[in-house]
Structure 1
């Protein structure tokens, strides 16, 4: 009898524990299709081919609309309006059946615009939430600017050329002339984030990312989370069909006394947010590389708003990014070191609308400018201006499956001096299918 009572009690305890936990959700995106591109570069200083260089690409690829991913998320009701939650998300490349993190630039999973090399390269965090108050989480997470940009971008973060706010994977690595440089950091590892509930239409968010090592880089290998940190703040306001957001985030990398000849490709924010600059002011072609100097402050600002007119939704965005040299930097090999190593700003407007219940269309146009530094000397180069537009459409076969077609174009022109890559034009087009689950 006692054994039976113990058995019943044990089963009841197990059942109670099971009821206290919510089920874990498996989710993901698979996006694949055809991606084509063509680009033309104009350079009056190059004698061959009249200074005109053309290039094209054509392939079956993936992720033109959304980066493919596989994730797990879950919550547990702790009682009293408190719950625990977690997310683990990995990037996928369905075109070659590998994890996207396996070949990503971010090999150490630091603060990044890219995915890391670990299995949980996109996101991996755990946190607590209190109804009516807010939530906090620890781990690798999106930055405030990335989260709000996803809500207020008319292209919905398409990974192709034509957008000036968000530079997706297929754009940043595409043909010459299609990249307008990266405007903000997407993710932060080793981060604490907090977000309030919405009160009277207002919500505030915060982020603090802290390095997990504190050593000076002494070799030319790729950097990691060494002597860096970052923080961010954001606020948004919702009133009927109007949505406004303002966000700021700052990252600091401190490694002094670097020999420029042996300086690694160490990118701001833990070594991960790249800057596309020319190899030199007199080079014959632009070079997409990483800023070699390592004592830097990277400040990023994002302002945006949307208004839903019913028949369509209108968008307006502005992004600014400034990378400056911190005081006390000593770099062997740099005779003239500018305090501002990179400066970029851009603005974009756009619309999205459902033409029919199954057909959605969008269009965006934007412009901006950036100014980088010579990779070999640190001296600032000429200002590059750019304009871009993108149009596209979705045809929804169901709530989770859609076909899409999109076209984007970007034109860049250099400032005075006629430096290499003084004029470029790049076009990209994609047709594909996306399934979410």
Structure 2
């Protein structure tokens, strides 16, 4: 923790003033570095290609963050967080060249007994609910449910710009987050003035070894007045038996507009297990999706699974190995990843 109030004097009064400054305003530096070596293979009905790679972010996309609080008195605190993705294999900023510098998180707000209100670029509650309720927690590379929900499916991505988020204070085992995005902030005369405006709400209830989660997602995709929008709903649950932890989640997505070609309905279901073994855990999950739309170019379904082992060397460092297969059906495309990596949190 870094004291943000410099003290240029000495003696007991100085020590007291520095301690008070530290209590009132603090900044923390944190992050994760995750890299893996592996073999990537892509197949279609007529082609096959493979490559040996050293890539970023097998279990967690690498990032660097700064967050802080200031005590404003009366139980009220100012809060902020700035986080940037890192491609640790090349040293570049962002998940890709299109990412802004503070692409992972960029928020400021207030927090008190009434909850927390923040403004800026947020991680969407729906994406957190998806990635936290799977054995490959937080992974966007080795977790098949993330690919099913966010690749060729849910629109808007895992971050919303121009957002306002309110988080309820914890009430027993209940927690909830609500996020509204202003979208592109187009001027009123534009027929697409509501383009990318979005809303998400996620609630969860934890009692003992059980956790239940429900979420809703909406985004306006209007293009030249075609009334295009998307709605999604999800339910998820986990139960920890001690010797094994089981999880399941189900998503339904409906996309509609005045253009028949963009109308679609998709369903995704995941079932997975986490089995403690030694200082680590065996992770296994299977995901199945059905995809219905008017375009013959898009797949009719998707079948994927991952199995791996994550071993903790310490509280902050782990090593892992995993095999992931993602298969799109009609037309067929298949990708497999065989990975072994190391992750360090600081």
User: Smaller-chain TM-score range?
Assistant: 0.7 to 0.9
CA RMSD of aligned residues (A): 3.0
Matches within 5 A, 1:410-425: 410-414=326-330, 422-425=331-334
* Residues 154 and 349 in structure 1, CA contact (< 8 A), matched pair in contact too: no
Matched, 1:24 2:18: no
Does the residue aligned with 1:18 lie in a helix, a strand or coil?
A: helix
State how many pairs are aligned: 334
| Structure number with higher strand proportion | 2
- C-alpha displacement at 1:216, in angstroms? 9.2
Does the residue aligned with 1:311 lie in a helix, a strand or coil?
A: coil
Q: Which runs of 5+ in 2 are unaligned?
A: 1-9
Give the greater-gyration-radius structure (CA). Answer: 1
Could you state the TM-score of these two structures normalised by the residue count of structure 2? 0.86
CA–CA distance in structure 2, aligned partners of residues 392 and 101 of structure 1:
23
CA–CA distance in structure 1, aligned partners of residues 19 and 305 of structure 2:
56
Does the residue aligned with 2:135 lie in a helix, a strand or coil?
A: coil
* Residues 324 and 339 in structure 1, CA contact (< 8 A), matched pair in contact too: no
4+ long deviations beyond 4 Å: 10-17, 215-218, 380-383
Matches within 5 A, 1:14-163: 15=18, 18-42=21-45, 52-100=46-94, 103-104=97-98, 116-117=99-100, 119-131=101-113, 133-160=114-141, 163=144
CA–CA distance in structure 2, aligned partners of residues 17 and 225 of structure 1:
48
1:322–1:240: structure 2 CA closer, same or farther, 3 Å change rule? same
- C-alpha displacement at 1:295, in angstroms? 4.8
Q: After the TM superposition, which of the residue ranges 119-128 and 380-389 deviates more from structure 2?
A: 380-389
CA–CA distance in structure 2, aligned partners of residues 205 and 425 of structure 1:
36
CA–CA distance in structure 2, aligned partners of residues 11 and 397 of structure 1:
41
1:193 is matched with which residue: 152, 158, 165?
165
Could you state the TM-score of these two structures normalised by the residue count of structure 1? 0.69
Q: Which has the higher contact order (CA 8 A, sep 6+)?
A: 1
- C-alpha displacement at 1:24, in angstroms? 0.8
Does the residue aligned with 2:21 lie in a helix, a strand or coil?
A: helix
* Residues 323 and 340 in structure 1, CA contact (< 8 A), matched pair in contact too: yes
Q: Which runs of 5+ in 1 are unaligned?
A: 1-6, 43-51, 105-115, 173-179, 219-223, 258-293, 328-336, 375-379, 415-421
* Residues 40 and 53 in structure 2, CA contact (< 8 A), matched pair in contact too: no
